[in-house]
Amino acid sequence: MLYAIISEDIDQSLEKRKSARPEHLARIQILRDQGKLVIAGPHPAIDNDDPGPAGFTGSLIIAEFDNLEDAKAWADADPFVAAGVYQKVSVKPFKKVLP
């Protein structure tokens, strides 16, 4: 089943994001290589693809996991969690309807 991992950043998270980004992306690339990743990316803090020093307000990952517990465990092990980037992470089942 698909699950949405919706994360909200702490204020001024950009430097912490930068330091943990390589490990964060490596884990997501594993999901992609396994054919389990639907989409992943950050939410820019301003209406621009490159928010510069404004940084980001959170992230969204939609991927396939065996069950909700596995999706939560994967989200809890994210390097951004360990680095203190996220203030809140929600994991919810997701039903793709379109396209």
Looking at the DSSP bridge assignments, the partners of residue 72 are none
Q: Which of 11, 61, 12, 63 is nearest to 34 (CA)?
A: 63
Convert the pLDDT of each residue in 50-71 to its tens digit: 999 999 999 999 999 999 999 9
Q: 3-class SS at 4?
A: strand
Spell out, as residue ranges, where the chain has pLDDT lower than 70.
none
The CA distance from 32 to 27, in Å, is: 9
Q: What six digits make up the tokens of 94?
A: 């997701």
Rg (the chain; Cα; Å): 13
Q: Which run of H or E residues covers position 94?
A: strand 86-94
